[in-house]
Amino acid sequence: MTTNPTNTRSTGDPVIRKTPEAALPRLKLRIFNVVRRAGIDGIRIEDINGVVFNGDSNAVNIRNHVLQINKRLRGTPFRILGDGPYMRGQYRLKRRTG
């Protein structure tokens, strides 16, 4: 976890924010980075399968990883969004607001 000394609580204590690198194990960090590198266009689940798993996985497994990644990213400014129902379609990295 990293601290940002410019962000302090009213007590003056620094606010500790998790980084994706600290929050995610290696495989989930690889999926996160693939989605991050895809940029605003996003990346299809089939392409994540090809890049990360050499085509040896399936959509259900990848969706489960993405849901677990988002759970671990709570407390960070990031989340992964799918543009279809049930997390299907293109995946994009989104910054949390507020």
Q: What is the C-alpha to C-alpha distance for residues 61 and 17, in angstroms, rounded to an integer?
A: 28
Ordered by start, the domain boundaries in the chain are: 18-95
Of 22, 24, 55, 51, give the one whose Cα is nearest residue 37: 51
**Which CATH fold would you assign to the domain 18-95?**
Arc Repressor Mutant, subunit A (1.10.10)
Question: How do residues 10-34 score in pLDDT, each as one tens digit?
Answer: 666 655 567 788 889 999 999 999 9
What is the pTM for the complete model shown?
0.77
- Residue 78: strand pairing partners: 95
Question: How do residues 57-82 score in pLDDT, each as one tens digit?
Answer: 999 999 999 999 999 998 888 999 98
